Amino acid sequence: MATMEDRMVEAALGAFDAWCEVSRLGRRRLIDAWLGQLAVVREDLARFLTEETGKPITLARGEVGRAEATLRATAEAVGGFGEEAVPYDLMAGAEGCRAVLRRFPVGPILAITPFNFPVNLAVHKLGPALAAGCSVIWKPCPQAPRTSKLLWESFEVARRRVGAPENLLQLASSDPVAAEQLAKDPRIAAVSFTGSERVGRHLEQVLAGKRLLLELGGNGAVVVDEGVDAAAVACQVAPAAVAGAGQSCSKAQRIYVHRALWDAFVPAFVAAVKLLPVGDPMDPATVVGPLIDEATAHRLDASLDRAIAAGAEVLLRGPRQGALLPPAILAGLPEDDPFQCEEAFAPITVLTPVDSFEDGLDRAAATRFGLRASAYSRDQRHLRQAEVKLRAGGVLLNLPPTFRLDAAPFGGVRASGNGFEGPRWAMEGFTEGHLIVEGPAL
């Protein structure tokens, strides 16, 4: 007897066979229809998101707005994607030849998405995959079932409205064992995963040879040069360190400050973090809400105790209340401390003085991760050094590491993943290129 996973893959294959023949205009109409329906359920999505994950309601509304921007960028990308002229007739002996590089959808996609941005990060996979001509099986996070179901239902309304094939986007169980079976199915053409490094590396092992697109963790660094406005930089970086309880893979976790600026920056940063409201996620003023669950908050609180017992200086810390862990700022940690070399995924920040901007760049780059890194300086020569030395998929200059335009490429290198998301670039991951060359008639 066929399992549920078998039936889902069969349905995805049938939907793909019909959808891959649809014109770019037809695909864009679907994305536009989904965008319109997303606006209808906007407030309900934000409320569900807050109730299920604890993300502050203002940030949740912002995330849904970003998801709309992502779909809008996806619709715009469809028109310019899929065919590129190649000047074959520049080659001697190829006079009269015509060549194009055409991109074709690879087949059914399995998309696996995390809890920290359960709407926008889902749309970043689902929208481009559908726009590229693929069918999708979506395994959402288990922590936000109502949010995920409502997002899927909004798509279904749009799909029926434009007459797109049934089973084009299927909502799978959040069970990780079932998801792995889906991922291993040879009929699934590609797997797109956003989540922890541990799970990503496991998928690499069990899916050897399959197209695997990974967006993994980070431990974002910020390097602050002498001569900048300490208060202005602190106010810009503080939300990047703790907003949404720091549950962002691109959050500012390690901040390296030029020793000449240390005495000005440290109190300014602590003060800026203290100004960010902590508490009830349904309060529109709240910036720092609870972590995803109490067990996670308890584990991180114990990790703070460990670091302090080992000699860390406490610049800011408050008592844990259930799943709510107030922002913590530490100093004096060695580079091999877990808070320096691993992803905290929490409102925990480490400040470290450095003797020079170059030293800060070297320390910032001394990590196996490579998602986002920032550098602040008024010296253009230093900023050009940062472009080269900060080995990350996104290097932000005079901006915090969380600064992101959803239409732009976003991705990591090394332990932070491979390739780029952002609609135009994600579509490349869901397609394969065929060079079509036509010679003159004989």
pLDDT in tens, 271-288: 999 999 999 999 999 999
The pLDDT-based confidence of 252 (bands split at 50, 70, 90) is: very high
Q: Which tokens sit at 428?
A: 């490349």
Is pLDDT above 90 for 66?
yes
pLDDT at 358: 97
pLDDT at 442: 87
Cα torsion 54, 59, 62, 67 to 10°: value is -40
Please write the tens of the pLDDT for every residue from 109-152: 999 999 999 999 999 999 999 999 999 999 999 999 999 999 99
Please write the tens of the pLDDT for every residue from 304-358: 999 999 999 999 999 999 999 999 999 999 999 999 999 999 999 999 999 999 9
Per the CB < 8 A criterion, the answer to whether 185 and 12 are in contact is: no
Average pLDDT over residues 215-242: 97
pLDDT at 441: 87
Cα torsion 131, 137, 143, 147 to 10°: value is 50
Q: Of 42, 195, 38, 58, which Cα lies nearest the Cα of 116?
A: 195
- Kindly give the residue spans of alpha helices, DSSP state H, lying in 310-416: 338-341, 357-365, 380-389
CB neighbours of residue 275 within 10 Å: 11
Name the catalytic one among 5, 141, 249, 421.
249
220 three-class SS: coil
Please write the tens of the pLDDT for every residue from 155-176: 999 999 999 999 999 999 888 8
Does the domain at residues 4-216+417-438 carry the CATH identifier 3.40.605.10?
A: yes
H/E stretch holding 417: none
**249 tagged catalytic:** yes
Name the catalytic one among 5, 52, 197, 215.
215
Share of the chain above pLDDT 90, in %: 93
Single-letter residue type at 303: S
- For residue 350, what are the β-bridge partners? 254, 330
Is pLDDT above 90 for 89?
no
Share of the chain above pLDDT 70, in %: 100
> Which residue is it, tokens 């005079």?
398
CATH of domain 221-397: 3.40.309.10
Average pLDDT over residues 230-243: 98
**In the sheet where 431-438 sits, what is the strand order?**
83-86, 98-105, 431-438
Rounded to 5 degrees, φ, ψ at 408 are: -95, 160
Task: Tell me what the pLDDT averaged over the chain comes to.
Answer: 96
Q: Of 111, 97, 244, which Cα lies nearest the Cα of 170?
A: 111
Per the CB < 8 A criterion, the answer to whether 50 and 282 are in contact is: yes
Is pLDDT above 80 for 52?
yes
Single-letter residue type at 422: G
For the chain, domain boundaries: 4-216+417-438, 221-397
**97 tagged catalytic:** no
Average pLDDT over residues 235-242: 98
Please write the tens of the pLDDT for every residue from 396-420: 999 999 999 999 999 999 999 998 9
Task: Tell me how far apart the terminal alpha carbons of the chain are, to the nearest angstrom.
Answer: 55
Is pLDDT above 80 for 1?
no
178 three-class SS: helix
